[in-house]
Amino acid sequence: MAVERFTRDHEWIRAEGGIGTVGITDYAQEQLGDIVFVDLPPVGRKATQRELICSVDSVKTAADVYAPVTGEVVEVNGELASTPALVNEDAEGRGWFFRIRIADAGELDALMDRAGYEAFVKPES
């Protein structure tokens, strides 16, 4: 069964079988506006948790993307090269960025579940 977690930097990870699929949250893509380019990490790139791993450019700004866990990139979403708008259309689905082989599954425990993330981004009333 997949484990879904979120970071305070608005990345999501869906982990299953030691591999995590990573992207930015729907909330993040809404804040960025129209995505025009995703600078994906190369396959084989190793990163530690919270290390800058790639970036996203939108019509409004650029944003850094951090590794939610320590590991090695094993696959990238090649569709984003020609269709970066997939991130706007389906940020937490078809708009995923990369897959990472998770070095320490215990790092997932430090991340928020969906309810925790939704509370984190909920505007103060």
**b or e along 12-49 (b: 16 or more beta carbons within 10 Å of the residue's beta carbon)?**
bbbbeeeebbbbbbbbbbeebeebeebebbeeebebeb
Q: What is the pLDDT of residue 33?
A: 96
Domain for residue 39, yes or no?
A: yes
Stretches in the chain below the pLDDT threshold 70? 124-125
Q: What CATH number is associated with residue 37?
A: 2.40.50.100
Domain for residue 58, yes or no?
A: yes
Contact 72, 100 (CB under 8 A): yes
Domain for residue 95, yes or no?
A: yes
Give me the phi and psi of 15, to 5 degrees please.
-105, 135
> Count of domains in the chain?
1
Q: What is the pLDDT of residue 123?
A: 81
Q: What is the pTM of this model?
A: 0.95
Amino acid at 88: N
Question: By three-state DSSP, how is residue 83 classified?
Answer: coil
Domain for residue 41, yes or no?
A: yes
Domain for residue 122, yes or no?
A: no
Q: What is the pLDDT of residue 125?
A: 54
Give me the phi and psi of 58, to 5 degrees please.
-125, 175
Note down the domain range covering 51: 3-117
- Can you name the residues that pair with 11 across neighbouring β-strands? 24
- Can you name the residues that pair with 16 across neighbouring β-strands? 19
Q: What is the pLDDT of residue 23?
A: 98
Domain for residue 123, yes or no?
A: no
Domain for residue 125, yes or no?
A: no
Domain for residue 106, yes or no?
A: yes
Contact 111, 120 (CB under 8 A): no
